[in-house]
Amino acid sequence: MHAAAAFLPRLAVTAGEPAGIGPELVARLAMRPLPADLIAIGDADQLRRAAAHCGLTLQITDDDGQRIAERQPGQIRVAHHPLRTPEQPGQPDPRNAFQVLNTLSHAADGCMSGEFDAVVTAPVQKSIINDAGEPFSGHTEFFARRANASVVMMLASEGGAERPPLRVALATTHLPLRAVPDALDVDMLCAKLRIVHDALQRQFGIAEPRIGVLGLNPHAGEGGHMGREEIDIIEPSMQILREQGLHLLGPLPADTAFVPAMRPRMDAVLAMYHDQALPVLKSEAFDSTVNLTLGLPFVRTSVDHGTALELAGSGQADPSSLIAAARLALRLIPHARSPQT
Which amino acid is residue 212, in one-letter code? G
Q: How far apart are CA 200 and CA 211, in angstroms?
A: 10
- Binding-site residues for substrate, in ranges, read 139-140, 282, 291, 300
Residue 334 is predicted with a pLDDT of 78
d(CA 111, CA 339): 17
- What per-residue confidence (pLDDT) applies to 338? 47
What is the reported pLDDT for 335? 65
Does residue 183 sit in helix, strand or coil?
Answer: helix
Give ∠ CA 301-65-121 in degrees, rounded to 5: 15
pLDDT in the model for residue 5? 54
Number of neighbouring beta carbons within 10 Å of residue 222: 13
Cα gap 59→74, rounded to integer Å = 6
Q: Are strands 210-214 and 247-252 parallel, antiparallel or unpaired?
A: parallel
pLDDT at residue 281 in the model: 86
Burial readout 10-45 (b: 16 or more C-beta within 10 A, e: otherwise): bbbbbbbbbbbbbbbbbbbbbbeebebbbbbbbbbe
pLDDT at 159: 65
Strands 299-302 vs 290-294: parallel, antiparallel or unpaired:
antiparallel
Three-class SS string for 130-151? HHCCCCCCCHHHHHHHHHCCCC
Number of H helices, E strands in the chain: 11, 12
* Beta-carbon-side half-sphere exposure of residue 246 (alpha carbons within 13 Å): 27
Binding site, annotated residues for a divalent metal cation: 174, 219, 274
Please enumerate in sequence order all residues whose Cβ is within 8 A of that of 93, keeping only pairs 6 or more positions apart, or say none: 18, 19, 85, 87, 128
- The set of residues, in sequence order, having a beta carbon less than 8 Å from that of 3 and lying 6+ positions away, is none
pLDDT for the residue 64: 95
pLDDT in tens, the chain (341 residues): 344 458 999 999 999 999 999 999 999 999 999 999 999 999 999 999 999 999 999 999 999 999 999 999 999 999 999 999 999 999 999 999 999 999 999 999 999 999 999 999 999 999 999 999 999 988 989 999 999 999 999 999 876 656 678 899 999 988 899 999 999 999 999 999 999 999 999 989 999 999 999 999 999 989 999 999 999 999 999 999 999 999 999 999 999 999 989 988 999 999 999 999 889 888 887 777 899 999 999 999 999 889 999 999 999 999 999 999 999 999 998 766 544 43
> What is residue 284's predicted lDDT score, i.e. its pLDDT?
81
- The pLDDT, as a whole number, for residue 336 is 60
**How high is the pLDDT of residue 340?**
40
Q: What is the pLDDT of residue 160?
A: 60
Residues belonging to the binding site are 139-140, 174, 219, 274, 282, 291, 300
DSSP string, 158-202: ---SSS--EEEEESS-S--GGGHHHH--HHHHHHHHHHHHHHHHH
- Residue 341 is predicted with a pLDDT of 31
Rounded alpha-carbon distances, angstroms, from residue 76 to 124, 139, 328? 21, 23, 19
Which domains can be identified in the chain, with CATH numbers? Answer: 1-148+297-340 (3.40.718.10), 150-295 (3.40.718.10)
pLDDT for the residue numbered 129: 96
pLDDT at 1: 35
Provide the pLDDT for residue 275.
Answer: 93
